[in-house]
Copies of this chain bind each other. A is one copy, B any other.
Amino acid sequence: MRIRDLLCMVFICLGYTCLVAQESELTIPKPNASQLAWQQAEMGAVFHYDLHVFDGKEYQQGGGSGNRTNPVPDYQIFNPEELDTDQWIRAARDAGFKFAILTATHETGFALYPSDVNPYSVRALQWRDGKGDIVGDFVNSCRKYGIKPGIYLGIRWNSFFGVHDFKVNGEGEFQKNRQAYYNKMVEGMVTEICTRYGELFEIWFDGGASHPDLGAPDVLPIVKRYQPNCLFYHNNQLAEARWGGSESGTVSYPCWATFPNPYSHAGDTHGDHIQLLKHGDPDGKYWMPAMSDAPLRGYNGRHEWFWEPGDEDHVFPLENLMDMYYRSVGHNSTLIIGLTPDPTGLLPEGDVRRLKEWGEEIERRFGVPLASTDGKSEVIDLVLPRSARINHIILQEDISKGERVRKYSLEALIDDQWKEVATGQCIGHKRIQVIDTIEASGIRLKIMQATSRPLIKEFSAYLVD
């Protein structure tokens, strides 16, 4: 180590000590176990399946929720004769997804499992003689393939029961009675979902579950009671993860896992607040990592969560998916991709193939690093194999102890000279740093600013060609 480097380190240490004097390791926000698992999973799928998959029509072409709030005329069209949730989950696994979520209900209000409190469910079908349980099949397939199962519940809309943005349509005493009934029905469904299918990884309330004080069902205590290890996403009381502000499968950089409020947006998705969702707040007191979400069929003028005819060519190409991966997982955000089985009950072959390609490409690029290290100091050196060529660096904090790094730089030892090749702010669970291809014998991570002692659990270099 030369004098220059030594001096540099001393200055960094001094700066660091000043910073941490103001904030204790004990008080910085940290993830709970479910948040930690959710971030470590990095990628998951959300399977969308509902009545209108079977009607051969296109929706949302006019924007908004379109006519999904118009009841599907004949629910008996729901007839996935070749349903095979194993095939769904194998496809998710092959993409590298670690968890999978299923829309147990969506905007129609139709339940994919045989509810005892919502008659508008698979039990009403001729399909499988009313004995089908897609949630059950789904969870079983997840467990079979080591994928963590989660459930998505749409309670904000219900085209059948007549619920519009949480409010039962209507007026007077009649409306009031039906609202009370609906809330109880929803709470019953949440209880069923939380008690019938074992431990769940995430419960995702479509558009949030509002707030009981606003007349919405009181779902939080139910999830907390029956699924204490499940990530709760979300209502106006609590968000254990937040929406990353777009459905592009990406978040902006930096994207902090902390937030100023215990809830994420409570319906506010405009202006400054959308920026807050995208970036988070490094000074926020609440741990709330960002989700990047996008439908797989979101390419070239379409953006469709549900299977619809003729969308085969709208499956994202591999390069778009890789870009998405960099700007979600690589930006400290968990990526959730929307998949949607077709009316036969299978995920379409093209989608399955693309997912496999994607998983293989991620593995090809990042499966084995050229070199890897870790460290608990403000300067960490990564020694590279002799004159290695590299163009990707991956950094990971041990976020179980919080997000500590605020500012860092990366230097490369090229021809015996340390040269800055990248800078950054947030590392969090994962930062994928793309740099121009260089030939270097070492990489140095310098943490210029942190709220507490940095805990770098992964510092790796890759050459991607």
Give residues in A with beta carbon < 8 Å to B: 67, 69-71, 73-76, 114, 116-117, 119-121, 123-124, 126, 130, 159-162, 164, 168-171, 174-175, 177-178, 181, 184
Contacts and interface: CB of A to CB of B under 8 A. Distances in A.
A177 B160 CA distance: 10
A192 B124 CA distance: 15
A74 B117 contact: yes
Contact of A75 (B67, B119, B124, B170): B119
Contacts of A178: 71, 159, 162, 169
A220 B435 CA distance: 75
A132 to B, nearest CB: 12
Contacts of A160: 119, 161, 181
A190 to B, nearest CB: 15
6 contacts: A71-B177, A71-B178, A73-B181, A75-B119, A162-B168, A170-B171
Contacts of A177: 67, 69-71, 159
B116 A119 contact: no
> 8 smallest A-B Cβ distances: which pairs?
A169-B170, A119-B124, A71-B181, A70-B177, A119-B119, A119-B120, A170-B170, A162-B162
B169 A171 contact: yes
A157 to B, nearest CB: 10
B164 A174 contact: yes
Given A116-B76, A124-B119, A124-B123, A175 B169 contact: yes
Nearest to A168: B162
A20 to B, nearest CB: 56
A122 to B, nearest CB: 10
A160 to B, nearest CB: 8
A143 to B, nearest CB: 26
B116 A69 contact: no
B184 A162 contact: no
Nearest to A117: B74
A184 B170 CA distance: 20
Contacts of A175: 162, 169
